[in-house]
Amino acid sequence: MKLGKNILVLIPGFPKDEDDFLCVPPVQDYLLKYLGSYPETRFFVLAFQYPYEKREYAWNGINVYAQGGNNSAVNKLFVWKNAIKIAKQIHNNYKIDSIHSFWFGECALVGNYLSKCFGCSHICTLMGQDVRSSNYYLRFINKDKIRILSLSQNQSEAFYKVSKRKVDGEIFWGIENQDYNIDDKREVDLLAVGSLIQLKNYSLFIKVIAEIAKSFPCVVCKLVGDGPELPMLKDMSILYKINNNIEFTGLLSRKDIFILMQKSKIFVHPSGFEGSGFVFAEALANGMNIVSFNVGYAQKSEKWFIAKDDIEFISLTQKLLSAKLNFEPLNIFPISETVNKYHQLYKLNQV
């Protein structure tokens, strides 16, 4: 007798082992929480591109079938063909109830085909830049055969703008409550965390520090992450003479990032685009106050300040640093709600 649902997950990249904390952390958190809540469920993961070698392995009890595509355009069709073959084998053995694809791209394309073969539902979660006009999959995937979920209202609006198709719902990536002593000293004034790429706009973070240092010459700042913009950002810090005010930490584990968040006052996120910005949820849950633009999860509140432009961004950060701040944890994105919403969708197993 079948006890629980069998869910096939199609995703470009998945952790290569249980210590691979950098790869899609919100998806990792979600799967672990879901199985903790509904242990009778089986997930089968088909990872198209990463890990870069083709192999089968177990991740926290979940069967993973890595296709090792390595982001090669030449291998793409072979990856799809083999993924379909493996998915059909899984279906023959277990009967797939629902397909959950991530990013509106190759995984959604293959998911559409498989859902028709299996007579099951297909859910696709939009994840980030797949809602931009540069995503050519938007032109030829049959959107009427997919339940499309976004992570935020901003992402829903972006998807409609490029596709003229409304999403079927919004389900944020949630986070667990964090435990810590709110009375601990927060010696870091400004903290930023992310990939050091042009899209994330961390040059504005350097400018924020430079402006604030005029009034607060001892301001303490940290930038966590790595990427191609790092040398330029370091040069900027020297040019603006604030290299003694900022530490470039490089990559840190999530555990270390959370510890650092609990020692920091203001989370500064200058990115001009986010599908969700899971790091916002992490910062709030660890008691931080936020300055950002209206991207991703952005929700104006007494702990979240949203700027219209660069000038206001700098001004808000400067004012906040002089204010009496509240470091109480705030979890407006509980992971239990994420799990429950997807659980209801998985129960709708017909196309």
pLDDT by residue (tens digit) across 300-331? Answer: 999 999 999 999 999 999 999 999 999 999 99
Domain hosting 151: range is: 6-174+335-346
Question: Residue 72: helix, strand or coil by DSSP?
Answer: coil
Is the Cβ–Cβ distance between 125 and 102 less than 8 Å?
Answer: yes
Of the candidates 16, 110, 20, 134, the residue with the CA atom closest to the CA atom of residue 70: 16
Distance CA 192, CA 215 (A): 20
179 found inside a domain: no
Distance CA 47, CA 108 (A): 13
Whether residue 51 is preceded by a cis peptide bond, meaning omega within 30 degrees of 0, is: yes
66 DSSP β-pair partners: 47, 55
Distance CA 101, CA 105 (A): 9
Query: Measured at the alpha carbon of residue 242, what is the angle toward residues 238 and 243, in degrees to the nearest 5?
Result: 55
208 found inside a domain: yes
Q: Does one domain contain both 162 and 206?
A: no
First to last CA, the chain: 23
CATH code of 77's domain: 3.40.50.2000
Of the candidates 218, 11, 225, 175, the residue with the CA atom closest to the CA atom of residue 108: 11
Distance CA 208, CA 186 (A): 19
Q: Does one domain contain both 121 and 48?
A: yes
- Residue written as token pair 């986070």: 175
Residues 25-40 pLDDT 10s:
999 999 999 999 999 9
Residues 155-203 pLDDT 10s:
999 999 999 999 999 999 999 999 888 778 899 999 999 999 999 999 9
In the predicted structure, residue 88 carries a pLDDT above the cut 50: yes
79 found inside a domain: yes
Q: Does one domain contain both 255 and 318?
A: yes
Distance CA 351, CA 2 (A): 20
pLDDT for the residue numbered 3: 65
Q: Does one domain contain both 44 and 162?
A: yes
In the predicted structure, residue 55 carries a pLDDT above the cut 90: yes
Q: Does one domain contain both 32 and 112?
A: yes
351 found inside a domain: no
In the predicted structure, residue 110 carries a pLDDT above the cut 90: yes
37 found inside a domain: yes
Number of folded domains in the chain?
2
180 found inside a domain: no
Question: Residue 188: helix, strand or coil by DSSP?
Answer: strand
Distance CA 294, CA 289 (A): 15
Kindly state the DSSP code that residue 227 receives in the 8-state scheme: S
Q: Does one domain contain both 78 and 213?
A: no
Cα 298 → chain centroid? 14
165 found inside a domain: yes
Residues 116-130 pLDDT 10s:
999 999 999 999 889
Is the Cβ–Cβ distance between 46 and 83 less than 8 Å?
Answer: yes
Q: Does one domain contain both 10 and 121?
A: yes
Distances (CA, A) of 78 to 69, 84, 102: 8, 10, 19
Q: Does one domain contain both 164 and 121?
A: yes
**φ, ψ at 16 (rounded to 5°):** -75, -20
Q: Does one domain contain both 164 and 43?
A: yes
Distance CA 167, CA 147 (A): 8
Q: Does one domain contain both 143 and 214?
A: no
Distance CA 314, CA 308 (A): 11
Q: Does one domain contain both 211 and 292?
A: yes
Question: Residue 247: helix, strand or coil by DSSP?
Answer: strand
Residues 243-292 pLDDT 10s:
999 999 999 999 999 999 999 999 999 999 888 889 999 999 999 999 99
328 found inside a domain: no
Residue 2: pLDDT band (50, 70, 90) is low
Judge residue 323's burial from the number of C-beta atoms within 10 Å of its C-beta, 0-12 exposed, 13-18 middle, 19 or more buried. exposed
- Number of neighbours of residue 259 by Cβ within 10 angstroms: 14
Q: Does one domain contain both 159 and 200?
A: no
Q: What is the pTM of this model?
A: 0.91
